[in-house]
Every structure is written in structure tokens, then in C-alpha cells.
Structure 1
Amino acid sequence: MERGKIILVLGGTRSGKSSFAERLASKGQRIGYLATALPGDGEMIKRIELHRQRRPIAWITKEETLEIGKAIQEMEQYCDVILLDCLTLWISNLLTMGSEPDVEANWVAREKYIIEQVKQFAQSCQEVKCNIIIVGSEVGMSIVPGNRLARLFRDLNGITNQEIAKIADEVYLVTAGIPIEIKSQEVKI
């Protein structure tokens, strides 16, 4: 089976990464949008609504906060392009509300669990025939966070970005609304 193209779009907060990814996705015919955000407070509800308003009505939206690999495999049946927004929110969801193991009880087990979920997701991406565009945040370019949970989140986000970049055919970094292609083919080191 030949797999679809995997494109990773990274950027900081309000960098324009989602808008760029949406422009890439709009080149497809049957477009699916996989949303991972949780509407936990009023401000997040507004952000989600802005994303909804930007999307064309013809796009098929699925909201899934944890089981994104399974969701992509289901969406493949009726989409030739799937836009996942956002990988970083998915990591946050796994870190704070995943069922196994308890965050407070065992940090090492939580980290191992999430890394395993990331590897399973990467495998799922490689098994579908449709093109996948994955949006994620670059959060490692700032100061070292002052608490353990924030450091774990930052570290897991960086590991996740690296794992997905390994399997991606193209990787873009968006800064100030400008996409910079940082990978367009497999780099042999």
C-alpha cells in the first residue's frame, strides 16, 4: 500500500501556522479537519469558534481529543486530505486527562505512556493513503519553565515534533506568517 504525503507545520503562538496549513489543505478535494482542542474556558471557546468560522463548510470536521490515530484511520475512508490541528493540544490532553497512568502518581510512567502514544500515532499516519497535514507548536525556544509539569510538557512536545518530523515528507516552520520549508526530502546523516 502506498501512503499519502505527511506534512508537519510548526510555529509559535499566533505565528500563522494554522492559516498556512489550511491553505495547503484547501488544495485537496475531500478535506477533513481533525480538531484536538478542548473548550475548557471562555477564551478557548472563542479560539475554537474562530477556527470554525475560517473553515469552508464543505470540510468534514471531527473532534477528537485523545484517539487521533484511530480518528485519522476512520477519516481516511472519506477524505483525501486530513488537517490535524493541533498536535500540541493533543499532548496537553494526554498529559492532563489521559486515563493511564495517573499524572500525579508517576511522572516517569506518564512520560513513557505519552511517548508510546506518539509512536502509535506516527505509525497510523504512515498506514493511510490520504495526505495528512499536522499542525504543532514550537514551544522549546523560550526559557526553561519553573515547574515540573511545564517542563515535562515542553519536553514531550519537542520529542513529539521530532518523531513526526522523522516520518514527514515536508516540514515547515511558520514565523510572522511566513512559512519556511525546513524539510522537503529525507535527509541522510
Structure 2
Amino acid sequence: MLPRSTFVLGGAASGKSIWAEGLVESYNLPMVYLATGQVFDDEVEARVKIHKNRRNLRWQTVEEPFDLAPTLASLSDKQVVLIDCATMWLTNHLMNDANLEIEQARLLNALQTCAASWVIVSNEVGHGIVPDNAMARSFREAQGRLNITLAAQAELAVQVIAGLPQVLKGRLP
């Protein structure tokens, strides 16, 4: 049985998005890709292009860097949504000087009330050294708190390492 809610965690370039896309495709439901990234330079543009090229025409892409709630509320129980990724979403809010506690609560509520099955991808940022500046430390702490709450809310939590899923909570379908 496929989980209604899945949290996919991993390091940069760990294969987490590819693994999450495969999981979403296994639902055999209409798929929505909720993209949170913003393109500010050529490097990010190239990464976005790689992600887009991997998905076929069966995916509906919605680009929303800030307010995920309206899209999540519009989905039915006959759809599955992949949110890629929580880290970019958090970065967008941090750089906009938003109240992260309020935005995190809004996201968690939107996920809880979303009729569709959901998969959300996030980065593990706590395995490295302590950052040397206040903004980076603030981000690391906020990302850690967000990851903890997303993992708690999800039925299935998976860490992807070198493209391989390691189940942290629940069971793989």
C-alpha cells in the first residue's frame, strides 16, 4: 500500500529527487510537481532544466516559491503531489525576512488538510560543520526544525544516500 504522506531527506546531489519522482510515478495517479525554487543565476537555471527534462508530459508543474497552501488545497484525493523542495521553500522565506514559525505552521497545516497524497523532498544540512556566520547558523537550525516536523507528520520518512533509500519511519511500498 502506498503511503499518503512521505518525507524524503538527503544531502545535496544524493538522488533524493529522482527517488521521490519514482515513488510518485508508482501511484499511477495524475502527478503534480510543486516546484519551490527560484532561478537567479545560470547554475540554478541548469539544475532546473535537468529536473524538468527528467519529467514527462504526465507531470503538471506548478512553480510556487512561497505560498504552497492554495495549490495543496486545490488538489483532490485522485492526485499525488511532489514538493521539491522544502529547503528552497525555507530559503525563499528566510531571504524574504518572513516569520519562519508562521510560515512553517501554514505549510504543515496545508499538508495536513491536503486531499492528495504528498511527497516532500528536503535537504539534510546538519551533517556538516557549524557554519561560521549567523545567517547560515540560523538557516541550519530552521531547516533542522522543519525537517523534524515534516518527518513527524509523514507516514513514511526516507533518507536517500547515494541514490539508495534508507527507511527512517514506516515501510516502503
Name the residue aligned to 1:150.
136
Spell out structure 1 runs of 4+ moving beyond 2 A: none
Contact 1:10 1:172 in 2 (8 A): yes
Name the residue aligned to 1:126.
112
Write the letter of the residue equivalent to 1:132.
W
In 2, the alpha carbon distance for the partners of 1:70 and 1:138 equals: 27
Instruction: Give ranges in structure 1 of 5+ residues lacking alignment.
Output: 98-102, 104-109
Q: Offset of 1:79 from its aligned partner?
A: 5.5
Write the letter of the residue equivalent to 1:136.
S
Name the residue aligned to 2:164.
178
Alignment RMSD (CA, Å): 1.5
Write the letter of the residue equivalent to 2:21.
E
Whether 1:140 aligns to 2:139 is: no
Alignment CA distance shift 1:158-1:152 (3 Å)? same
Instruction: Give ranges in structure 2 of 5+ residues lacking alignment.
Output: none
Contact 1:34 1:84 in 2 (8 A): yes
Please give the residue correspondences for 1:4-153 in structure 2 after superposition, counting only pairs within 5 Å: 5-28=4-27, 29-74=29-74, 76-77=75-76, 80-97=79-96, 103=97, 113-153=99-139
Q: Offset of 1:119 from its aligned partner?
A: 1.5
In 1, the alpha carbon distance for the partners of 2:152 and 2:76 equals: 25
| TM-score normalised to structure 1 length | 0.85
**Corresponding pairs, count:** 168
After superposition, the C-alpha distances for 1:157-186 in whole angstroms (9 at most, x for unaligned) are 00000111111100000001110010017x
Write the letter of the residue equivalent to 2:66.
L
In 2, the alpha carbon distance for the partners of 1:79 and 1:139 equals: 33
